[in-house]
Amino acid sequence: MSSIKVSTSDNQVIEVPQEIIKQIKIIDNLVQLKDTIDEPIPLNNVDARTMNKVIEYCVHHKDDVYEEYDETEDNSPKRSDDIDEWDARFMQVDQDLLFSILLASNYLDMRSLLDLGCKTVANMMRNKDAEQIREMFKINGDFTEEEKLYIEKENKF
């Protein structure tokens, strides 16, 4: 089995197995355009740690068929509770790596992994209020106490 070499943002060269290239659309598109690729493909927005996780995901899902859907349609899947067991374990990573996987899946044009990452983040936020979410994701609130009280008062249910 042959492979394609990629160069990550931290200057690591990683071999991507040929059998999973179709899942990584940005690499697949480059491979389609060129007959031979002698040099590693630069992936300036993906570090080695993240790329290795992407490859792990692709190897596990190499035989899966991912159905594209139209996001504008009301019947598109929007559930976040349909993550299978392997994927749930795969996404049990530190927050920095989780967000790196999300960014990489978007950059690499990997819709299935991007959807999985978004569902994971949605599940992390489930049943939490705004303050808990800010704390979880280390987001600094930029409202004054007076503004917070006003917003709470205006949005009481």
Assigned domain for 13 exists:
no
The pLDDT, as a whole number, for residue 75 is: 54
The stretch 100-114 carries a mean pLDDT of 96
Determine contact, residues 102/114, Cβ cutoff 8 Å: yes
Assigned domain for 81 exists:
yes
- What percent of the chain has pLDDT above 90? 56
Query: Which residues make Cβ contacts (< 8 Å) with residue 7, sequence separation at least 6?
Result: 13, 14, 40, 41, 42, 43
Assigned domain for 3 exists:
no
Assigned domain for 125 exists:
yes
> What is the domain-level CATH number for residue 105?
3.30.710.10
Question: Tens of pLDDT along 48-82?
Answer: 999 999 999 999 999 887 666 555 555 555 566 67
pTM: 0.79
Question: Tens of pLDDT along 32-44?
Answer: 888 777 899 999 9
Structural domain that includes position 116: 46-154
The pLDDT, as a whole number, for residue 79 is: 62
The pLDDT, as a whole number, for residue 47 is: 98
Assigned domain for 12 exists:
no
Asked whether the predicted pLDDT for residue 103 surpasses 80, the reply is yes
Kindly report the number of other CB atoms within 10 A of residue 58's CB atom. 22
Assigned domain for 109 exists:
yes
Asked whether the predicted pLDDT for residue 129 surpasses 70, the reply is yes
Total structural domains in the chain?
A: 1
Question: Tens of pLDDT along 11-25?
Answer: 999 999 999 999 999
Assigned domain for 75 exists:
yes
Assigned domain for 28 exists:
no
